[in-house]
């Protein structure tokens, strides 16, 4: 393993002012997004939409350090025949690839899931590297509810994440390790804190035991936030304080950077939280975004599958990317959102 090269890539992924675009929706997830805007999810429509995003020079050059792709996308060409990977590279951004194969019910753990995809992963990683991927992503999903998460679920998922990360480094690819504690439940932020702490502590033990070099990794966690159905809403400052506290308690300083998922937060909420987190300052890692929905909701609404809306969709994407770029340095303000509106 060439650790200095992995470390260089990991640092580039979390460069101040920039963050990651999670455009790795599987075919079924992107279909849901397209259904919401009345667009039929054909391979060409998916290509057109992603070409729109990766060809958005302002957003990509200034604020997007890397893009997480889905298997179909890493193999697709733009309308003029240019590989989409080349569009990303041309903008000075890094191509990455989602390598997990989704979740399945975890045996004897009702309501819990395990992420699959380890079989044949070494060979798939070698192929993706040949296609241009510099980093990869694997998402483990932990739900909070009555009697869950179980230790069985946390242990199995964190072990799989560690095995994935070791295989990535062996193949000279930076692993994004994503243990997502869902915000779907009725729990409050303190419960989210406790589960996130349990998950992250387990993850770093597993990564150590699997001999993963933390300097060549990026963590993609949830923020510590109230569940969507909770009546007790944590304020922006509380989310920032609790998120930073749990990360300080669990994440070694050898990790170059932390790129949060948005997890169903509104676009502005995700930006405000990232900004408040960065305003705390004095932390050993760079803290940025690796958003899917919180970067793409606005461009999707503006696009609606119509060629004449491409420029408007690119403007909407550039705006969200700029807002989050500012938040990654603690320089965002709500006034900037209003001015743009």
220 catalytically annotated: yes
Q: Using an 8 Å Cβ cutoff, are 259 and 220 in contact?
A: yes
Question: In terms of Cα–Cα distance, which of 338, 289, 295 is closest to 318?
Answer: 295
Contacts to ligand 5MM from residues 148-207, by CB under 6 A? 180
- Residue 25: CB minimum distance to ligand 5MM, A: 4
248 catalytically annotated: no
Question: In terms of Cα–Cα distance, which of 223, 287, 217, 227 is closest to 261?
Answer: 223
- Residue 330: CB minimum distance to ligand 5MM, A: 20
Exactly one of 51, 112, 178, 267 is catalytic; name it.
178
- The answer to whether residue 292 forms part of the interface with ligand 5MM (CB under 6 A) is yes
- The answer to whether residue 101 forms part of the interface with ligand 5MM (CB under 6 A) is no
- The answer to whether residue 139 forms part of the interface with ligand 5MM (CB under 6 A) is yes
- The answer to whether residue 322 forms part of the interface with ligand 5MM (CB under 6 A) is no
Question: In terms of Cα–Cα distance, which of 341, 339, 225 is closest to 276?
Answer: 225
- Residue 215: CB minimum distance to ligand 5MM, A: 23
- The answer to whether residue 267 forms part of the interface with ligand 5MM (CB under 6 A) is no
Report how far residue 319's alpha carbon sits from residue 256's, in angstroms, rounded to the nearest whole number: 26
Taking contact as CB under 6 A, which single stretch among the options 50-58, 87-95, 250-258, 286-294 is the one that binds ligand 5MM? 286-294
User: Under 8 Å CB-to-CB from 44, ≥6 apart: which residues?
Assistant: none
User: Total binding residues for ligand 5MM by CB under 6 A?
Assistant: 16
Report the phi/psi class of residue 308: left, alpha or beta, with left for phi > 0 and alpha for psi in -120 to 50. alpha
Question: In terms of Cα–Cα distance, which of 29, 93, 12 is closest to 56?
Answer: 93
Exactly one of 18, 134, 137, 220 is catalytic; name it.
220
Catalytic residues: 178, 220
């Amino acid at each position: 393993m060439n650790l200095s090269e992995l470390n260089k890539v990991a640092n580039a992924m979390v460069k101040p002012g920039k963050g990651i675009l999670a455009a790795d929706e599987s075919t079924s997830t992107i279909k849901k997004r397209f259904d919401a805007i009345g667009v039929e999810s054909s391979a060409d429509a998916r290509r057109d939409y992603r070409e729109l995003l990766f060809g958005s020079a302002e957003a990509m050059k200034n604020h997007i350090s890397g893009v997480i792709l889905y298997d179909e996308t890493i193999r697709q060409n733009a309308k003029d025949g240019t590989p989409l990977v080349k569009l990303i590279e041309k903008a000075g951004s890094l191509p990455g690839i989602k390598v997990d194969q989704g979740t399945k019910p975890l045996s004897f753990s009702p309501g819990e899931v395990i992420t699959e995809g380890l079989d044949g992963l070494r060979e798939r990683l070698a192929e993706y590297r040949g296609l241009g991927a510099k980093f990869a992503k694997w998402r483990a999903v932990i739900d909070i509810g009555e009697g869950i998460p179980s230790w069985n679920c946390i242990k199995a998922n964190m072990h799989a994440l560690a095995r994935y990360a070791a295989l990535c480094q062996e193949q000279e690819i930076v692993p994004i390790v994503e243990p997502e504690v869902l915000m779907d439940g009725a729990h409050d932020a303190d419960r989210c804190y406790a589960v996130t702490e349990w998950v992250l502590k387990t993850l770093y033990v597993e990564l150590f035991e699997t001999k993963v070099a933390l300097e060549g990794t990026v963590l993609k966690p949830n923020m510590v936030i109230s569940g969507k159905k909770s009546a007790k809403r944590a304020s922006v400052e509380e989310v920032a304080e609790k998120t930073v506290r749990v990360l300080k308690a669990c994440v070694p300083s050898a990790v170059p950077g932390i790129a949060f998922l948005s997890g169903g937060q509104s676009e502005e909420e995700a930006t405000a939280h990232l900004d408040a987190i960065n305003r705390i300052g004095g932390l050993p890692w760079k803290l940025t975004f690796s958003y899917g929905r919180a970067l793409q909701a606005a461009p999707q609404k503006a696009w609606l599958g119509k060629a004449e809306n491409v420029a408007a969709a690119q403007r909407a994407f550039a705006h969200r990317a700029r807002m989050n770029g500012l938040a990654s340095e603690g320089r965002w303000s709500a006034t900037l959102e209003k001015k743009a509106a």
